[in-house]
Structure 1
Amino acid sequence: MTDFPGAPTDPTAPREGRPLRVLAAMSGGVDSAVAAARAAEAGHEVTGVHLALSANPQSFRTGARGCCTIEDSRDARRAADVIGVPFYVWDLAERFRQDVIDDFVAEYAAGRTPNPCLRCNEKIKFAALLDKAVGLGFDAVCTGHYAKIVETADGGRELHRAADWAKDQSYVLGVLDARQLAHAMFPLGDTETTKDEIRAEAERRGLAVARKPDSHDICFIADGDTQGFLAKHLGTAEGDIVDTEGTKVGTHSGAYGFTVGQRKGLRIGHPAADGKPRYVLDISPVDNTVTVGPAEALDVVALTAVKPRWCGQVPEGPAEYTAQLRAHGGEVPVTAELADGELRVRLARPARGIAPGQAVVLYDGTRVVGSATIATTERAAVSAV
């Protein structure tokens, strides 16, 4: 890992009236490159850094899947050269393996469905990276996320949805606390620009990544085969697929290969008695059983979430919010209350396919209140799982 020469020993808090020392996390994609360019254009003292998160990176990406390849590192370096800022590569592969990949595997083994992007933001980009940046005297970490930070009258900072809700990524940033927000910068979240306009801006700036495909899915599973990835780590273990009456309707090679709400890939072989599709309702790692049933059995009316993280002040008493329950899901009106360290949420209308391990992110208007990990759900048609 390369340190920056001449960095002060004490962190300096951001102050108005002077350029900030900004560490721009550059993945090698167009969003982070434009974010770094905008920060530099605004007059800040920007240094680019690429996070090497793979112990054995590939030379080239597989289409639009994955990231963190040698090619991505080179693309980030070329973008930094065009912008005219210093550039470094930091090796965080071991930390990423421990905090993100191992956690991902363990959660699936326990029958839960994690979101590795939230864990990466919490543990890597705004913990390991931010802590090192602040220790080296940087004021802020800049990323290409689509979200907005709003300064409050008392000098605090709030996390809000991006100006363009279609690209908003505040859901995966809901794990950031007040200290982390104080040192975060999201230059793409304040403007209502489309992705095509971001690419056009990159071209105007001479950035070669202007037409580079976006990465998607899970970055450390480049081929998109999540089940195959888990099988390599967890092995195979044949188990039963049963209906809500406990009748065996099929078999599987590992309960970890399923997620609540899944319809495709069940390979049950024959339709239900009513002829309607069946969905995964429950995953039991204890007896390696997967339970399937009708879509209406997925309706969740309440949930309990653990490990809450607040983007500002901890809320007191029950209050009404909207909640986002999946990375690409819509909002649901809810009543939520923190009790005994757990977040208890009741939905104003049922939502389907909500799985333990996913995050519930609370909003007050466009402001992100906080995030917690779903532990249990209460369903309208079946008892809690």
Structure 2
Amino acid sequence: MALDTPKTNSLGFAKAPADTRVVVAMSGGVDSSVVAAHLADQGYDVVGVTLQLYDHGAALAKKGACCAGIDIHDARRVAEERGFPHYVLDYENIFKDAVIDEFADSYLGGATPVPCIRCNERVKFKDLLETARDLDADCMATGHYIQRKDGPDGPELHSAEDASRDQSYFLFSTTPEQLEFLRFPLGHLPSKDATREMAAEYGLSVADKPDSQDICFVPDGNYAAVIEKLRPGSVEPGEIVHADGRVLGTHTGVIHYTIGQRRGLGIGGLSDPLYVVKLDVENRQVIVGPREMLSTRIVPVREINWLGNEPFTSREEWHLSVKVRSTRPPREAVVRPLSETTAEVELLSPEDGVSPGQACVFYETGGSRIFGGGWIWKG
């Protein structure tokens, strides 16, 4: 299956593809490889760039990662197969300072961070995008499943055609200036199968490569082990306490728990199921209680990136839908601006397990447009 290729420049430029330089952010996976191959096939002046984000040795031993080890090799091989230049940039120090350190500190502070969003915001769509400009590129293309559409007031961000692949939750912090320069050629495809079909048609060596899983620098999803390595001695034991004040047991560190967690609490023998309802880092306590205590209606949000046509503070209320976790569908809400970058979000239907450190992303109710979003905090 082919991507839509109109007779005019498919990336929106009034010149021939051969005169249009596109930097493609190549992670080594099938998605970005298909983007690069397709644009090269269309005749664009493609330059592939891969970021080496963390230790080569550890990355080589880990399957399902991205931006290191075997993935760098795979990206380079695709570039050789399709005949365009490819560069590897060492961003390990930038990635550690901008993403990994905050991840560790947020977990130690009782939050549940989303480092993939920070990576897009602070590394890929910031430093890499500037590198693309330095290479005299007209735009930068990625393999993300999201759509960029031209609106009456400029480019708009929209959900992917395939809702099961949509990555808008992880890209809400994309600014209007970045959106001008970015392109997402896969966003309109009906399914991931269509992408793999294209990879096979182009004969790409990564056509059957599995998708990346978990956070790239967290082996086997063991967050606690990574944090203990990054911050030795910072994980301390404490008590598991019922919301009514009863001490039910002990734990080896608050970082081993998340809001809404039920399994693995180590407090068996109780008649009613209990959930983690709060993490009290200062007192090293994991607070548990009945499920109804997880129900949240008011969500404080800060560091808001707004993508609407009107200024965020031009209204007292915005009636939108919001996602408070990447795996949940948008729910209708009222967003009340407190400043240009802070708001109170009222969920019309309460949600369980709303956690500080997660994103709250704003969507057009009944539509596909993303109006930005921000970060949930404790208030």
For the criterion TM > 0.5, the same-fold answer is yes
- Deviation track 1:134-178 (CA, whole Å, cap 9, x = no partner) reads 133212221110000001234x10000001111100110101010
SS at structure 2 position matched to 1:130: helix
* 2:176 aligned partner: 178
Q: Which residue of 1 aligns with 2:5?
A: none
Q: Answer yes or no: is 1:127 the counterpart of 2:126.
A: yes
C-alpha distance after superposition, 1:307-364 (max 9, x if no partner): 1112354322111001011111111000002113411100010111110110000011
Kindly indicate whether the alpha-carbon contact (under 8 Å) linking 1:142 and 1:186 is maintained by their aligned counterparts in 2: yes
Please name the residue that 2:223 is paired with: 226
Q: Tell me the secondary structure at the aligned position of residue 32 of structure 2.
A: helix
Give the conservation status (yes or no) of the 8 Å contact 1:61–1:67. no
The residue that corresponds to 2:200 in the other structure is 203
Superposition deviation, residue 83 in structure 1: 2.1
Distance 1:305 1:255, change over 3 A: same
User: Closer, same or farther in 2 for the Cα pair 1:55/1:276, shift >3 Å?
Assistant: same
Structure 1 unmatched ranges of 5 or more: 1-12, 378-385
Contact 2:240-2:251 at 8 Å conserved across structures: yes
The offset of 1:84, in angstroms, is 1.8
Contact in 1 for aligned 2:322/2:363 (Cα 8 Å): yes
CA offsets 1:31-80 (integer angstroms, 9 cap, x no match): 1101112222343211001100013443635343x223321111001111
Structure 1: which amino acid aligns with 2:211? D
Q: Partners of 1:339 and 1:291 in 2: how far apart? A: 30
- Partner in structure 1 of residue 356 of structure 2: 356
Q: 1:284 aligns with which of 280, 288, 311?
A: 280
Q: Quote the residue 2:69 is aligned against.
A: 70
Shift of 1:191: 1.9
Question: Moved runs in structure 1, 4+ residues, more than 4 A?
Answer: none
CA distance in 1, matches of 2:121, 2:159: 18
- Whether the 8 Å CA contact 2:56–2:69 is kept in 1: the answer is no
TM (normalized to structure 2)?
0.91
8 Å CA contact retained: 1:300, 1:351: yes
SS of aligned partner of 1:282: strand
Aligned counterpart, 2:34? 34
Question: Which amino acid letter does the alignment assign opposite residue 67 of structure 1?
Answer: C
* Residues 91-111 of structure 1, C-alpha deviations (whole Å, 9 max, x = no match): 111000001100100111111
**Aligned pairs for 1:1-385 within 5 A:** 15-19=13-17, 20-58=20-58, 60-64=60-64, 66-154=65-153, 156-192=154-190, 194-234=191-231, 235=233, 236-271=235-270, 275-313=271-309, 314-315=311-312, 316-317=314-315, 318-340=317-339, 341-364=341-364, 365-376=367-378
Change (3 A) 1:346 1:279: same
Q: CA RMSD in A?
A: 1.7
Secondary structure, in 3 states, of the residue corresponding to 2:299? strand
1: CA distance between counterparts of 2:59 and 2:122? 26
Partner secondary structure for residue 129 of structure 1: helix
One-letter amino acid of the structure 2 residue matched with residue 17 of structure 1: K
Among all aligned residue pairs of Structure 1 and Structure 2, give the percentage whose two residues are the same amino acid. Answer: 39
Partners in 2 of 1:59 and 1:262 — Cα distance?
Answer: 29
TM-score by length of 1: 0.89
- Amino acid of the residue matched to residue 91 of structure 2? L
SS across alignment from 2:89:
strand
Aligned residue-pair number: 359
Residue 180 of structure 1 aligns to which amino acid in structure 2? Q
Q: Which amino acid aligns with 1:299?
A: S
> 1:361–1:372: 8 Å Cα contact kept in structure 2?
yes
Instruction: In structure 1, give the amino acid aligned to 2:52.
Output: A
Gaps of 5+ in 2: 1-10
8 Å Cα contact 1:146/1:189 also seen in 2: yes
